Each structure stands twice: as structure tokens, then as C-alpha cells.
Chains A and B, each alone.
Chain A
Amino acid sequence: MRPAAVEAFDWGWRYAGRLRWAIRGLTLAIEPGQRVLLVGPSGGGKSTLLQAIAGVNTGSEDGDAEGALRLDGQLPNAGRGRVGLVLQDPDSQVILGRVGDDVAFGCENLGVPRAEIWPRVVASLDAVGLDVPLAHPTAQLSGGQKQRLALAGVLAMQPGLVLLDEPTANLDPAGVIEVRDSVARAIGRTGATLIVVEHRVSVWADLVDRIVVLDREGAVIADGEPVDVLSQHRDRLLDDGIWVPDAPLPASLELGPVPAATGAVLAASDLTVGRTRGNPVQTALTFELGQGTSTVLTGPNGSGKTTLALTLGGLLPPLEGTVIASEGLRAGLAAEPHRWRSKELLTRIGTVLQEPEHQFVASTVADEVAIGLRALRLSAGEVAERVESALVRLRLDALARANPYTLSGGEQRRLTVASVLVTRPSLVILDEPTFGQDRVTWLELVTMLRELTTEGITLLSVSHDETYAQVLGDHRIELAPAPAGWVS
């Protein structure tokens, strides 16, 4: 295997049907064997660049290119198999049902002789440290394992260039380390050229030998050794939402004295939760959520954090025990939230689920925010007014007429938060609100949530994000791992 070189001369790409260039004016040369971290603001065309280098979604029907992009001096799509691409979403990269077959898939497509495929598969799985039988079902892998599987599938093709597009954005901290270490070991063994796109610089800074910073249009604004770039362009990077290592949080977000609760809004007693009868993930939970306080729920993967949050939000019935809403919260309804009607939840408990795409129901951002308000049968004037102020508050007003699916990941998450807050629920439940957020969005979101508690709104967040827990963890609930044999 020979490491690959990449060169771009004044290169640009515009998706079919768009006016704006996704990326434009990029001039960059990457030498064979270099390890490059590519950073820049969200929506700055970094993913577009990686896909173009990998030669996917780059047909003339997909959009227009300008300038030149060369892989080893040739057009990128001429060199299939020279480039391996790992994407952000673990679930959409698993192709086949068994681990061994999935890794072999790329080799088969490249016409690698059969006798050579299985040794490659075994070596690739070993390189990423995925120690499961070849016939292991891919559906049973964790998120971190799925990303390592995708990396193994790429390595088996013996590419001269490995491209990673935010490979850890959807993973919990253990999964992030797992994937980072696998990349380090695999690249160390093969010597392939590496390009990583990520907001979280600290994860990759030690592993790369060069950081390239792009501006919103795609032009290079800084380029050099990680230490130099991070110290010389620190403010610019922070403004662009990059998680510069060791940058302190604004003083306004320091966790002050824990607000005094004026009573419990929701009380769980001897609660057993699970998605289906007979499959409990947690038992004997007893706690209260104090009004106007923020509680952060933590625990390892599979410990039932999401299931507990959904149960508290009245979306799943408790398997045993009770969830009791205070007199103030229930406002005349039955004590248990899961007995309330859907419309009755709106002003009482708002739940933001983990995946934005599971939640979208409208074709424009403004309509999406208005859904709950229309269900409450508010007047058209009131709806318009509240939608407007919610969009401004979460910086989505310029996107009011866009389709929710076309927004970036960070924008989608802000939209789901806006859609829930707009009906003014007294209790807000959020599941991993900061996954994959750049630093700017993160700060805005956290600041806004902190303001909510000063307005007397109660928060419960499921989060793996330790910084988030520092800022919003007035109270912490740590769930123990679910007992062996219990499936989440």
C-alpha cells in the first residue's frame, strides 16, 4: 500500500439546485502519509470536500465543480479503493448482517481474489481491536463498535488515504476514545494518509501532525503544526465553534449556588422502567425533581437513561411503582403523566428526544415550531408571535422557510428544542441535547437552558457530556449499569 497525495487548486462544489457554493476557492496540498485535522465552522463544506475526495456523490447530476481536485495527480473517482471514507452516523454505515461479511464487502467490490479477502478481514478487525467472531451479528454492536467496524471495512480495502467525517460525533465518551485509539493503531500500522474532520480538537490533536482551518466559504485561514495553529489562531477558532482544548467557559456559566427548590414537580417512587413488559432496565428508583432546578441523568450505555426519561415524560408507562406529578404540574388532571392525553402534555411536560429526524412532522421550520401551538388551538396571531420569538431566540429565523431535513445537525437539534419550548411546558426533558454540537451552538443552548431554570422551569437532561453536567447539574442522578441479561 502506497500513501496517497491530495491536491486542490481553487476548488469548489455547488450542489444541484442550490445557489450558494458549499465550498469554494480551496487550495491545499496534502503530502502522502500526512495526518491532517480539518476544522472550520459548521456548514463550511468540509464533508463535501471529503465526499469529493472519496469520489462519492460527485456525478454531474449531483452538482457542479470548479477548479481542480486531484488524488495522486488523477481525478478522484478514477481511483476506486484508493480512498476509504468513514461517516458520522454509525447506523447507516453497517451494510451486511455479519461482521466478517461487512468487512469483506469492500474487498469483494474491488475484485480482490477470494484467498486474499479473509486474511485482510481478520487483519483489519485486529487493527481496529474489534474482537468478535466473524459471524457476529452487526445489529448487536454498540455505536463505538459500529464505527470501528466501518473503519475495519475501509482498512480491508487497503486505501492509501483514510477520510473520517466526524466519526465520533454520535458516540458517548467511552466510544469516542475507543474509535480514536483504533484509528491511531490502524494508521500507525498502515502509514496511510489521514484526513479527519471534527469539532473536538482535543480528541485528535495528539494524533495528527497538521491542522488546517477553513473559513465559512472554504478558504484556508490557518495551516500548520497543531500546537502553533491552536495557540496563534485561538480566538478565531473559538469564534468558529471549534472546541479548542482547555478553553475556559464564560464566567456567566459557572455553576452558582444550587437554586432552592420550592417543592417537587415530579416524584418517582419505587419505579421500575422498561420499554416493554418483562424487560425492566432499572428498578426501585425513588427521587424527586425540584421545581426550578436542573437535574442531569448519567450512566453507562444501556443503563436505561433514555427509558427513564421517556417514562418520566409520560411517554412510556411505568412497569412498576409510580411517577406522580405535583398538584401544580398536573393542573387538574390525573396524577400520573402517562395517563394524560397527548395535547395535555404540551403545557406540562415537554420532551426533546435524541434523534431530531424522529421528531420532524412539518415541511418548514416555522410550521415545525407551530405544531404544538396549533394543537393547543391558539389564535393565529398568538401562534405567529410565539413562533417568531422562538426562532429568533434559537437563531433559526433566517431558516424559517427551510425544510427541517435540510438543516445541519446542530440546527436540527436547536429546532427540536425550540419546538418543545414554544408551548411553555413547566418541566422540560432533554435526551443528549449536546451530541455533536460545535462550541458556539453549545454555549447558546446551555445559556438558554440555564435561563429557563431562573424562570422557574424544571429541567431534566440525559447527558454523557461532562461539561454540560458541570454547568447544568444542580442535581445528578447516576444510573448503575443494567444487570447482565437485561436488554435495554
Chain B
Amino acid sequence: MTAQLAPTVVSRGTGLLYRANPVTLVVGAIVLSVPLFLTVDWVSALVALVLEVLLFVAAGVPLGQLVRRSWPLAIGAPLAALSMVLYGKPEGREYFAFWLAHITDGSIALAIAIAIRVFAIGIPAILMFSTIDPTDFADSLAQLVRLPSNFVLGTLAGTRLVSLFLDDWRTMAMSRRARGIADHAAPRRFAMMAFAVLVLAIRRGSKLATAMEARGFGAPTQRTWARQVSLTWVDAVLFVACLLIVAAATWAAVAAGTYRPVWSG
């Protein structure tokens, strides 16, 4: 066996999306969403959504998977749209009114724009964040963003304990039932359990700190990194693609005359 077996990044796909640096994905998701938060028209949302889907399919996410992963949005979008239909700013012809609720031309247009927007902001967020591996993200935060390595590694090691807490919770709930103290009303039981899990979490944390210290963590020596993290052309391509998408979406909305920044009322 030789050193070339050393993994660089754990790959869950071969597309661009899976080869990009996690920091690029986070920045990309922010670039895509901020301009869409600033306007509430349907043209920019639709243009962004279509271009995003094209980008993700080109970057290696099969269309079927993209649709499957987006299911939470299929619930969120109609809910957001419904509230807009009923309570959006009344404008134009009114079809229905009851107390504070008015369904008008304006509120229907707003509802459609909002529903599309939920998808246009949600899809990149879901796909990009779910692609990020915590270890790779930590490597990148320490080496590219230059966050302090003790902070990043401590947090990374701590996140691993979260999965243990879920098991702890279940086991402690059973233990409390066996001990005759699980008949209390749910809120009180929850509070007692939460405190006990917290105590256990602190104990686990201090054991982990000892194990890390025993492996030289926190030593004054300059730390090295087993994996070099660097940005590649993949990151550049993804970043530019995200910029182009928001530029195109904004330009289309302005050209169509529908651009309506949130501050314009």
C-alpha cells in the first residue's frame, strides 16, 4: 500500500457539484438567494429557477433526484402561496373577500411569484448544503477561510457526539420508565430528560477533550493538514455560473418591467 491511496475528498458523485469545495457551495447558495430575496416578481424567480435546474443537471444531479430531494418545498410553496393569495396587498379586480382576506389580481400574482421563489431559493440551498461533508467543510474553513484550527476541529469533533445524543435520549427515556419516574406529564418529563442529557453531553465532551489532548491536540507545534484543500477550476465555474444566473434573472425582470424590489412597497 502506498500514500497514493490517501483520499482527498470523499466523493458521492462525479459531477461538478460533488467536486466543488464546500466553501464554494455555501457562497454559491448565498449568491443565488440574496438577489431573489430582494425582489418579489415572478419573472426573476422563474428565470432563476429554470437556469438553476439546468445548472444542477449539468453539474451531475439527475433530474429525478432533484425532484425527490425538493419535496419539502412542495409543501412549503403552496402554504406560502395560500397566505399570499388571501392576505397579499389587494390590487386590481377583487374575486373574493372575507374580513381581512381579499383575493385580487394583485394577490394572485404575488402568490404565484412567491411559490416559484420558494423553489428558486430552496432548491440550491437543499442541493448545495446536502452535498457538503462536515469533514471537508471543516478542512476548508480552517485552510481557506483561515478560521482558528482549534475552534474548527473542536466543533467538528463535537458534531460527531450529536448522533450519540439521540441514542442517549432513547436509552435514558427507557431507563426512566424502568425507574418508575416516567408517568409525569410530557413537558416535565422533557425538561428532566433535557437536563440529564445535557449533563451526559458535558461528560462526553470532557472525555473527548482528554482523548484529543492525548493525541497532541492543542500542542504549541504548528499543525499540519493531512489533506491539502485548494480551489480548482470547478469552483470558479460554479461560482461564475451562480453569478450569471442571478444577473440573468434580474436583467429579465427589469426588461419585462416586473422588477419590484422589496423596499419599493
A134-B7, A420-B178 given; A358·B221 CB < 8 A: no
A108 within 8 A of B: yes
* Contact with A371, one of B179, B183, B196 (Cβ below 8 angstroms): B179
B232 within 8 A of A: no
A93-B211, A100-B7 given; A111·B196 CB < 8 A: no
CA distance A381 to B87 in the complex (A): 65
**A95 and B215 form a contact (CB under 8 A):** yes
CA distance A313 to B160 in the complex (A): 31
A182 within 8 A of B: no
**A106 and B215 form a contact (CB under 8 A):** yes
Q: Which of A210-218, A220-228, A278-286, A340-348 contacts B (4 or more CB under 8 A)?
A: A340-348
Q: How many residue pairs bridge A and B at CB < 8 Å?
A: 180
**A157 and B171 form a contact (CB under 8 A):** no
Identify which of residues 344-393 in chain A touch chain B, using a CB-to-CB cut-off of 8 Å: 345-346, 349-351, 353, 355, 357-361, 371-372, 375-376
Output the nearest chain B residue to A86 by Cβ-Cβ distance. Answer: B214
- B203 cross-chain contacts in A, Cβ below 8 A: 357, 405
Output the nearest chain A residue to B171 by Cβ-Cβ distance. Answer: A358
A110-B221, A157-B215 given; A118·B210 CB < 8 A: no
Identify which of residues 130-183 in chain B touch chain A, using a CB-to-CB cut-off of 8 Å: 134-135, 156-157, 160, 163-164, 168, 170-172, 174-183
A185 within 8 A of B: no
Identify which of residues 3-28 in chain B touch chain A, using a CB-to-CB cut-off of 8 Å: 3, 5-7, 10
**Which of A56, A89, A420: most chain B CB closer than 10 A?**
A56
**A419 and B3 form a contact (CB under 8 A):** no
- A85 cross-chain contacts in B, Cβ below 8 A: 214
- B168 cross-chain contacts in A, Cβ below 8 A: 358
CA distance A101 to B142 in the complex (A): 15
Interface size, chain A (Cβ < 8 Å): 75
Question: Which residues of chain B have a CB within 8 Å of any CB of chain A?
Answer: 1-3, 5-7, 10, 134-135, 156-157, 160, 163-164, 168, 170-172, 174-183, 192, 196, 199-200, 203-204, 207-208, 210-219, 221-228
What are 11 A-B pairs at a CB distance below 8 A?
Answer: A87-B210, A98-B10, A101-B227, A108-B224, A109-B215, A111-B224, A118-B6, A157-B215, A314-B177, A358-B171, A371-B179
Question: Which residues of chain A have a CB within 8 Å of any CB of chain B?
Answer: 51, 54, 56-57, 80-81, 84-85, 87, 89, 91-98, 100-101, 104-115, 117-119, 121-122, 126, 134-135, 138-139, 150, 153-154, 157, 275, 310, 313-316, 341-343, 345-346, 349-351, 353, 355, 357-361, 371-372, 375-376, 405, 419-420, 423
